[in-house]
Chain A
């Protein structure tokens, strides 16, 4: 039984040695690769899913943006699989850690900005001022747009962290309350367990949606800058 509210979020250690890297590297092991042309059903389903993600995500990009297909597909599969595995009891979810999400968001955002400044510097700088702005408002709006640009990686990371952490906390709290009420009030426990079931379904959806949103936003930043 977990001792406190923070126990699910402590970075895992095995006999004092950090096991976080192993936990992060685990989800790809569940996705088999194949060297054959015609595969079994599991791999066909997996390939169909990856093609669906690829088509959905990369049709709006130009040739330069499509060189990022591998990166974006890997990103969404990694975040989705990590989030879904975190819904299992007593598992550790790396995406609840802000450090991990910042480590994903900052390089990707910075690289889109660097790409924009490198290949289309003037157009990237003109993005800092929306079209049709009245002249007196220009300095203030440039400052606002610059601030909103620098907030993008923070927002990406914090959005993912907060959503996953909040969901796990809620599940933990409602589960604990259901367990505590079991000996006291059975009908209320059943209602709480129903809420917990619905919440688990919601958390599964959130796990997938958050992965999609993260990748979609990175793809959007790439599209603006490529």
Chain B
């Protein structure tokens, strides 16, 4: 196989990417993510819950419409 496409190469690049992410993003932003933005994570959880509820309701209504097609209205 050519260099850069072997499984060990791919996982090596993924490790490098993970290291780069940790060094450039996680380490400078750690005090923000762990202390300052605690309430924002709560807000994001609330938003995720709302998104889940809307998606579930949409799926339910679509399933209902598909299972019981309405007769033609006059």
Q: A and B from one assembly?
A: yes
Interface residues of A (CB under 8 A from B): 67-68, 70-71, 102-103, 106-112, 114-115, 118
B residues contacting the other copy or chain, number (CB 8 A): 11
Q: How many residue pairs, one in A and one in B, have C-beta atoms under 8 Å apart?
A: 36
- Closest A residue to B32 by beta carbon equals A70
- Answer whether residue B50 sits at the interface, using C-beta atoms and an 8 A cutoff: yes
Complex Cα–Cα for A110 and B39 (A) = 8
Interface residues of B (CB under 8 A from A): 32, 36-37, 39-40, 42-44, 46-47, 50
Check if B36 sits within 8 Å of A106, measured CB to CB: no
Given known A-B contacts A103-B47, A106-B46, A111 and B40 have beta carbons under 8 A apart: yes
Complex Cα–Cα for A70 and B40 (A) = 13
Complex Cα–Cα for A114 and B44 (A) = 12
Decide if the interface of chain B is mainly helix, strand, loop or mixed. helix
Check if B36 sits within 8 Å of A67, measured CB to CB: yes
Check if A114 sits within 8 Å of B32, measured CB to CB: no
Check if B50 sits within 8 Å of A114, measured CB to CB: no
CB within 8 A of B40: which of A102, A103, A107, A118?
A107
Complex Cα–Cα for A112 and B40 (A) = 8
Looking at the assembled complex, report how far the CB atom of B70 sits from the nearest CB atom of chain A, in whole angstroms: 26
Complex A-B: 6 CB contacts under 8 Å: A106-B43, A111-B40, A112-B39, A114-B43, A115-B39, A118-B39
Check if A114 sits within 8 Å of B47, measured CB to CB: no
- Closest A residue to B50 by beta carbon equals A106
Check if A106 sits within 8 Å of B47, measured CB to CB: yes
Please, which residues of chain B bring their CB within 8 A of the CB of A111? 37, 39-40, 42-43
Complex Cα–Cα for A135 and B73 (A) = 54
Looking at the assembled complex, report how far the CB atom of B26 sits from the nearest CB atom of chain A, in whole angstroms: 15
Looking at the assembled complex, report how far the CB atom of A109 sits from the nearest CB atom of chain B, in whole angstroms: 7
Please, which residues of chain A bring their CB within 8 A of the CB of B46? 106-107, 110
Please, which residues of chain A bring their CB within 8 A of the CB of B44? 107
Looking at the assembled complex, report how far the CB atom of B23 sits from the nearest CB atom of chain A, in whole angstroms: 14
Check if A109 sits within 8 Å of B43, measured CB to CB: yes
Check if A108 sits within 8 Å of B50, measured CB to CB: no
Check if A110 sits within 8 Å of B43, measured CB to CB: yes
Please, which residues of chain B bring their CB within 8 A of the CB of A115? 39
- Closest A residue to B29 by beta carbon equals A70
Complex Cα–Cα for A167 and B65 (A) = 36
Looking at the assembled complex, report how far the CB atom of A117 sits from the nearest CB atom of chain B, in whole angstroms: 9
Complex Cα–Cα for A89 and B23 (A) = 39
Check if B36 sits within 8 Å of A107, measured CB to CB: no
Check if B47 sits within 8 Å of A71, measured CB to CB: no
Complex Cα–Cα for A92 and B50 (A) = 25
Please, which residues of chain B bring their CB within 8 A of the CB of A68? 36
Looking at the assembled complex, report how far the CB atom of B32 sits from the nearest CB atom of chain A, in whole angstroms: 7
Looking at the assembled complex, report how far the CB atom of B53 sits from the nearest CB atom of chain A, in whole angstroms: 13
